[in-house]
Amino acid sequence: MIYGVVINYAIFGGSYDPVHNGHLLLATFAREQLKLERVYFIPAARRPHRDRPPRATDEHRLAMLQLALRGEPSFFVDDLELKRGGISYTLDTVLRFRELLGEEPIILVGADNLAELHTWHRVEKLVKLARFAYAPRPGSASSPSGLPPGTRALKIHMPEFDVSSTLIRERAAAGLPLRGLVTDSVAGYIEENRLYRKG
């Protein structure tokens, strides 16, 4: 993974099971509006608030991310949470990035996830070490309220894109087209490897 000297960067964690065009849109609009030099996409080993592990293997999720980000020189995939294993806490990742880059990261999230920030692991320390940038999500408040004291959050202005990894898995399981929801390369990978199919 390339680190080096970076002044303004974001980390974008998630299951990426699979990565979809909504993820790419948020990263693109955030890069433009916040003048980010780099966005690091970080697939989680196990998300704290999810009961079940990802449906696709770590290898498949990584491969799909690499395909989706091909041709985007400021987007990077970082597998440090997969290598670390166990539950992936954002605080641990922020501490590691601050150690590697020496600068404060911006954490990219959806508005729905930001609204749950008070439930995150050691959030009182996290908000001192990183800023947040959030995207609107259908059905979520445009400006989340009740955030932990000290939270610094910027809204990314972008169209609402009502797609989820759950929807994509359901369509893949039914053999339905994924065009427009994921990149063509990811759609081809899902089909070739018969990911999310039942039986």
Report pLDDT digits (tens) over 133-170.
Answer: 999 877 666 678 899 999 999 999 999 888 999 999 99
Cβ proximity of 143 and 135 under 8 Å:
no
SS3 101: helix
Cβ proximity of 108 and 11 under 8 Å:
yes
**Average pLDDT of span 173-184:** 96
- Residue 44 CB contacts under 8 Å (≥ 6 apart), including other chains: 13, 14, 15, 81, 82, 88
Cβ proximity of 49 and 13 under 8 Å:
no
Query: How do residues 47-92 score in pLDDT, each as one tens digit?
Result: 887 667 899 999 999 999 999 999 999 999 999 999 999 999 999 9
Query: How do residues 26-48 score in pLDDT, each as one tens digit?
Result: 999 999 999 999 999 999 999 88
Judge whether residue 199 has pLDDT over 70: no
Judge whether residue 21 has pLDDT over 90: yes
- pLDDT at position 5 is 64
Domain locations along the chain: 9-162
- pLDDT at position 162 is 86
Residues recorded for the chain: 199
Q: In what order do the strands lie in the sheet with 9-14?
A: 75-77, 38-43, 9-14, 106-110, 131-135, 153-155
Nearest to 47 by CA among 144, 98, 116: 116
Task: Specify the CATH number of the domain 9-162.
Answer: 3.40.50.620
Nearest to 75 by CA among 135, 154, 16: 16
Please, which pLDDT band fits residue 173 given cuts at 50, 70 and 90?
A: very high
- pLDDT at position 141 is 62
Average pLDDT, the chain: 93
Both structure tokens of 29 = 């609009």
Please, which pLDDT band fits residue 4 given cuts at 50, 70 and 90?
A: low
Nearest to 123 by CA among 163, 89, 173, 165: 89
